[in-house]
Each structure stands twice: as structure tokens, then as C-alpha cells.
Structure 1
Amino acid sequence: MTNTEIVMAFIDAWNNMDWDRTSDLMTDDVVWHNIPMAKVKGKAAVEGAIRGMSPDSVDWEVISIAENGNKVLTERIDRFDMPGGKKIDLPVMGTFEITDGRISAWRDYFDLATFTNQMS
């Protein structure tokens, strides 16, 4: 798979809420950084954070995607239906770094106020 295909497989796994597959696509020492928040380090911690979100449904729409070397950039709208009927529509710019066919770093840039306002 190309690096872009790896990221698209990861996004597809999110959209299908296939948390085992998202985990399979990450290195053991992966770092996930939602830029307005603290970093999450290591596959077990990232998997725990992902599973802890507990959405009812997920739909990440890829607006644009570009690959340069081991980096893949995504412009997305991440949509979540959350328990209690809350709906999240979050514009995101994401950077993924690929090492040996798996995601080793994942940084998402978004406006924290947009997220928190939709969660309240």
C-alpha cells in the first residue's frame, strides 16, 4: 500500500468504527496529538483514547489529501454522532507520518472552541 492508501484505510476503519483495524495500522510507539490538547503516546494509550470516545457513529469526509515522502496531509470534516444525541462536525487538518507501512505520528489541527461548543 502507498502511504496515502494506508491513511485512507485508517480513515475507513474510523468510519466503520473498526478499532482493531485502526490499532493494526499504527506503530507501537505512535504519537497522536490533537494540537489544542495533550499528546497521547503509545499504541495502547491511543487505542484507549479512541475507544473511550464511544461515538454512536463516525463519518470522516476527506476534502483533500496529499502525500510527500512519508507524510500524508488530509483536509477533513470529522463528523461524530455522540451518545445523548450530540452531533459533532469538526473541520480538521491532519498530518500522518508513516514508518514501515504503519502510522507512527498523527497530528490533527482544529479549533478547540468549535469542538467544545458542539459538545456542550
Structure 2
Amino acid sequence: MSDAPSTTSTETLVAEFWKTLFARDWEHLHVFFGDDSVYWDVPAGPTLAAKGPKGIVARAKSVLDSLATFENDQIRTVSEGDTVMTEHHEIWRFSSGEEIVLPCLSVQVVQDGVIALWKDYWDMQTLMGPAPAEWRESLANGDFSWIVDATGNR
């Protein structure tokens, strides 16, 4: 990860990651992940995970790129050893006017200077219930080349 941000701690690395993700800086997001890194949206299950920089960025982009805005209301961060847990609200605004505030708990495990494991915990109905039909359809018809089975990744 030669072009990764310079960090002094796991918490700093994760904070830089969040800034990059919420800016939807797809060109820079990959630097936070290694080839074996895994992203797992826990409500979707381990069989719909993404792996490696290319897969993780493709996964994030497929869900977030069409939003009008994507913001973060960070509540608290707890860090111990290689693990950072972030409680936050993601604010999803769609071009059709809908706004969803999605409470999340994110867990990231940092190893060898990259996020080796990223798991997001949130409620599926809070997001999918009020989400516009067009957005849900775009997810269903999107590119799923990033899908891997993360069963056993802890």
C-alpha cells in the first residue's frame, strides 16, 4: 500500500478512510485495502461480501455512487489494538428527494497498515423500506462481479 495515507494509529487510518468514503473518492479509496481485505455488510450476509481493493471499491460504488449526497454523522469511535469500532449515522439523499438516516456500527480490523476486515451492522428495513424503487432496481440489475463468500471471516 505505497500510496496509502501516512498514519500513526489504527484509529487515524480509519478516520482517513471515512473521510475518503464519504467524499466518494473512488480513485483514492482503494489505498486503504490489501488484496486479502474483506468488506461484509452483515445484514446482507457473508455470501454477498467483497474482497480486495478492486472488489471493495466496486461494491461501495455500486451502492453509493447514484446518491445525490452521502454524509456521515459520527457519534463515537472506540479503538483497541488492531480494532476500531465506529458508531455513526449515514445520511443518504436520493436525487428523487428521499432522505434516509441509517444508524450503523462499523468494525474495522487493521493489519499491516490496511483495513483487513470491515464489517457494517445496520437494519436492512431502515434502508430498503423508504429507498426509491429506481435505486432498488439499479441494485438488483447492477454488476455483481465483486461478490465473494466471507463465511468464516471474523
TM-score w.r.t. the length of structure 1 is 0.91
Matched, 1:6 2:16: no
Percent identity for Structure 1 against Structure 2: 22
- Which whole-Å deviations, capped at 9, do the CAs of 1:55-87 have from their partners, x for residues lacking one? 222111210101111000000101122333332
Question: By how many angstroms is 1:27 displaced?
Answer: 1.4
Q: Which structure is larger by alpha-carbon Rg, 1 or 2?
A: 2
TM-score w.r.t. the length of structure 2 is 0.72
Partner of 1:72: 84
Amino acid at match of 1:117: G
Cα distance in 1 between the residues matched to 2:69 and 2:21: 9
| Greater fraction strand | 1
8 A Cα contact 1:59 1:79, kept in partner: yes
Which of the residues 54, 59, 63 maps onto 1:44? 54
Cα distance in 2 between the residues matched to 1:94 and 1:9: 14
Which of the residues 97, 112, 119 maps onto 2:124? 112
What's the Cα RMSD here? Answer: 1.3
Cα distance in 2 between the residues matched to 1:51 and 1:87: 19
Which of the residues 85, 90, 100 maps onto 1:88? 100
Q: Which runs of 5+ in 2 are unaligned?
A: 1-6, 133-154
Question: By how many angstroms is 1:90 displaced?
Answer: 0.3
- Describe the SS at the equivalent of 1:65: strand
Q: Which runs of 5+ in 1 are unaligned?
A: none
- Which whole-Å deviations, capped at 9, do the CAs of 1:29-62 have from their partners, x for residues lacking one? 2111110112222221111111212122211121
- Describe the SS at the equivalent of 1:44: helix
Matched, 1:23 2:30: yes
